[in-house]
Every structure is written in structure tokens, then in C-alpha cells.
Structure 1
Amino acid sequence: MLEILIAATLKAGKEIMSVHAAGPHVTYKNDCSPVTEADQRAEDVILEALAHHFPDIPVIAEEAAANGIVPNAGDEFFLVDPLDGTKEFISGKQDFTVNIALVRNGAPVMGVVYAPALKVLWTGDGDIACKVQISDEFEQTDVRKVRCRAKPTIPIAVISRSHCTPKTEAFVAERGLIDSISIGSSLKFCLLAEGAADVYPRFSRTMMWDTAAGDAVLRAAGGITLDMSGAPLRYELDDSDSDGLANPDFIAWGAAP
């Protein structure tokens, strides 16, 4: 299954970089968030691959959900964010990603995060996380396992470039986190997974498809994402709530807090 997800993300990344080279046309959704043709083209590629290989597993994808298409999902389903970090993509930055995650019984058990502009891909499957270099021809050239590092004396925080809040700044200040990295998209989870940072506090809105793939990579690397009660973040659909695909606030850790 993992290789199929990797192939789908690489194909989606190729579509995204084609739009990136030509220059995206930007429109806005009902929630005022930006969207480009790259988002839809990447999602179409991924949905086609998943439908072909795994027709019995429901898929919840960002652009389809924005159009009111959310299938009934049981204990196992895919979460897809075809272009995470659309603001970064539009502004010409490189920290945007393609995300596919498999959720089982509320936990992200497999994930692929691909940063096409950076030519790097991360995977998480069980307790194995890998960082993969990608060639100009969108092929895998080097694979190495990654693990979270042990908690250092002074941890490094990674924070959202576009969604930093006063609560996030207070968290960083209260814990004396002198060093921090500001970056977009699900790359924040990947930095924790490969030991480049230690904690990612998120106290602003995210959706399940924003986080599941990166969270799967982090957990496979030995880290954990906790909600504000200290329990592992769950990916469970709440049909009673129109906002049932949103995450609560959370803190992702590369080592036990």
C-alpha cells in the first residue's frame, strides 16, 4: 500500500509543479481560504489512484469536502490534502506539501508527505519513518530511516508561518523555547520526525487532512501528537457537528513531554 501512496503523491506533485511553473490562478472558497487549479488537479490524480487500488476504503479529501462531498467512513479511511500550504504556494515559497494518510480506529497508521519544490518526501508506516530524496524526474533516489531525537536541554519549537497566535507565542515564551523555526504546511511534523526540532504547538484551526499524514510520519518516528487533555490526537468523524472534520488544539512532540 505504501508504494501506491508514494506513487500517487509523486504524480500529484508533478501536476502541482506544472502549475507552479506557469503561475497559479487563485480563487477563494466559501471560508475565504485560497485555492488554485493545482489543488484540484493534484486531488483528481490522488482520488483516481485510491479508487483504482482501494475501492472499498472511503476517501475524505479537502477539495471534495469543500464541495460538500464527504463519504460515510467507518473505522478505516483515507485523508487527503492535495496541496497543504496553498498560501506558501501562491506566494512562491517552497514549503507546501501533498499529504495522504490512512486512518484506522482513530489513529493515523500510514502517511506520506511530499514537498515537491524541496524534492523531499517523508513516509510513516507502523514504527518505521523514512526521508526520501526525489529526483527532477520525480523518482526516488535515496531513502533513509529517521527518528525523533531525545529531548534536549533547550528544545527547538516549530511554529506555523501563516497561523501563529498569541497563545502560541505565550507557550513558546513560558517554556523558554529560545530557538524556533517558522515554516508552512505539514513540514512541521516532518522536522520533528527527523530530529530537526522538538515541539510543535498548534492553537489555531486545522482540519484532519492538514495533519494526519504528518502525524503518521511523526508517530512512526517515535513522536506523538497530544490534544489539550494529554491524550493522543484522534481522527474520528463527528456526524453530529458540521465542523466535525476540524481538529482541536494540539501539541506535537518529538519526545515525551
Structure 2
Amino acid sequence: MMLEIMERAAIAAGEAILQVYDAGPAVTYKADSSPVTDADHRAERIILAQLTAAFPDLPIIAEESVAAGKVPDIAGRRFFLVDPLDGTKEFLDRDSHFTVNIGLIDGGVPVAGVVYAPALGVIYAAGAGEARKTKVEHGRVCCDWRPIGCRKSPVPPVAVVSRRHNSRETIAHLDAQGITDYEAIGSSLKFCLLAEGQADIYPRFSRTMEWDTAAGDAILRAAGGETLTIEGKPLAYGKRNQPNDTDFANPWFISRAKPH
């Protein structure tokens, strides 16, 4: 039931995003110079309204609300992490690789997630240790859900990297692993490609925030993958009062199918 509500919220937000996509977005810029559009705000309002109505006792950490200084107390509680439009630059460039991300965190672990790519008409979801995928048309799921899972990695593995935020450290890591086959993809779709066995590793040696990764990470973990920091620890969520970074900022990480 919870996952279905998350799915419906993501699809409703995606339909609002597509309306702005077709009409042409109005763009402003945040303090960190990153763009934000009216689609981000419309989508977040829809998600917040639906999740709050269904789960009034669960806090929601949402990107644009945090930017506006609205950060609920999450200490010791399950909570949602929401990125209403992940891949805003792709959206502005009319590239179809942008997503709506809704993740559920319990004890610092992403236990459920929905990633909806409205321009591609594809939605991924995970909960209770199972990951799945289906198609969406005209704001509705139009096909049966099918289970997805990570594949046994070939040697060398196939990598996905950030299209907009790749780094020299990422390329150096790929070179050190002998990986020459990689694709640059926007948004949280990188996690989903690993989860459905189309790629094997996603090294991220540049900045991300928890709302960027939680939903995709939940899907990857349910599909048999993992996301580890460079120290080899599972990426944790709900990071507050960090000594060397802002609240909810992630360290560098590597996502991959678990070794067999």
C-alpha cells in the first residue's frame, strides 16, 4: 500500500513536469548556482500533498523545501527523501533522462523507492526486498510489473557515470579497474540501469545529496546491488551535523552489483 501511494505520487508529479516541459519552463537559480524551475516546485507540492495526506506522521525531506529552510525533525524516525525533478539540466536541455525520486529511509537505510522517468514513460519501484519495472502512458501504469535484478558482472564490468558531474577521480578509478566501456547518463537512472542488469558499476566521485540517491539506491539494493563509500561502508541516510559538509550531503561512493 505504501509503495503504491509513492508510485502514484511520483506519476502525478511526472505528469505536472511534462506539462511544463511542453510549455517551456521558467528558470531561477539557487544560492549554489544550480537551476530550479517551476516544474521542480509544482512536482514537489504534489508529492508533499499526497504523502502527507497518506502518512501524516512521517517527516519528508524534500530538496526544494530544504533549500527554503524547511527541515523537519527526523531523529529516530522513518522518513521520506524526495527529489521532485532529478536532472534539471537534462530537463532544460530537453534530454529525456530526468526523473522523479521518492525514497523511504528506515534506520539510515533506503528500504523503499520509486524512480519515474516521465519523458521515457518508465517507472521503477522497490520495497520489501523486491525491485520491479513497468511502463506508464497518459499518467497510468499500462503494463504488468516485471521483476528486475542485477546481473553477474562481466570482466571487465560495464560502467555508468554522471553526464553532468563526472570527475577526473572517476575516470582514474575506471582506468585503474581496466574499465573502458562506460556510458554517461543523467539523473538516478544510473542506479536503475544497474538494478535491471544493463550495467554493473557506478562510481561517483563528485557531490551528491541524499535526495539524489535514496530512491535509486533502494531499487539497486532490492535488486541485489549495494552502494558503498570509498571506505567500504554502506552509504547511510539521514546525515545531519556533519563536521566537514552540509546536512544530507553524501560522500563519494561506488554502486555496483554485489560480487558473486
Does the CA-based 8 Å contact 1:9-1:99 persist in structure 2?
yes
CA displacement at 1:143 relative to structure 2? 1.1
Q: What is the 5 A alignment of 1:47-86?
A: 47-74=48-75, 75-86=77-88
Q: TM-score, normalised by structure 2?
A: 0.96
Q: What is the 5 A alignment of 1:70-149?
A: 70-74=71-75, 75-149=77-151
CA displacement at 1:118 relative to structure 2? 0.4
Match of 1:249 in 2: 252
Q: What is the 5 A alignment of 1:141-180?
A: 141-180=143-182
1:153 and 1:173 map into 2 onto residues whose CA distance is: 14
CA displacement at 1:238 relative to structure 2? 1.4
Match of 1:9 in 2: 10
Q: TM-score, normalised by structure 1?
A: 0.97
1:144 and 1:254 map into 2 onto residues whose CA distance is: 19
Instruction: Pick closer, same or farther for the CA change 1:171–1:240 going to 2, 3 Å.
Output: closer
Q: Which runs of 5+ in 2 are unaligned?
A: none
1:236 and 1:181 map into 2 onto residues whose CA distance is: 30
Does the CA-based 8 Å contact 1:226-1:232 persist in structure 2?
yes
Does the CA-based 8 Å contact 2:101-2:116 persist in structure 1?
yes
CA displacement at 1:129 relative to structure 2? 0.2
Question: What SS does structure 1 have at the residue aligned with 2:234?
Answer: coil
The amino acid across from 2:248 in the alignment is L
For the aligned residues, what is the CA RMSD?
Answer: 1.2
Deviation string, structure 1 residues 112-149 (Cα, Å, up to 9, x no partner): 00000000000111220001111134334231000000
CA displacement at 1:181 relative to structure 2? 1.2
1:139 and 1:150 map into 2 onto residues whose CA distance is: 29
Match of 1:233 in 2: 235
How many residue pairs match? The answer is 257
- Does structure 1 residue 40 correspond to structure 2 residue 48? no
The amino acid across from 1:180 in the alignment is Y
Does the CA-based 8 Å contact 1:205-1:249 persist in structure 2?
yes
Does the CA-based 8 Å contact 2:96-2:119 persist in structure 1?
yes
CA displacement at 1:152 relative to structure 2? 1.1
Does the CA-based 8 Å contact 1:203-1:250 persist in structure 2?
yes
Does the CA-based 8 Å contact 1:198-1:255 persist in structure 2?
no
The amino acid across from 1:27 in the alignment is T
Deviation string, structure 1 residues 45-89 (Cα, Å, up to 9, x no partner): 000011100000000000000011111102311000000000000
Further displaced range: 73-82 or 84-93:
73-82
2:233 and 2:47 map into 1 onto residues whose CA distance is: 31
The amino acid across from 2:13 in the alignment is A
Question: What SS does structure 1 have at the residue aligned with 2:145?
Answer: strand
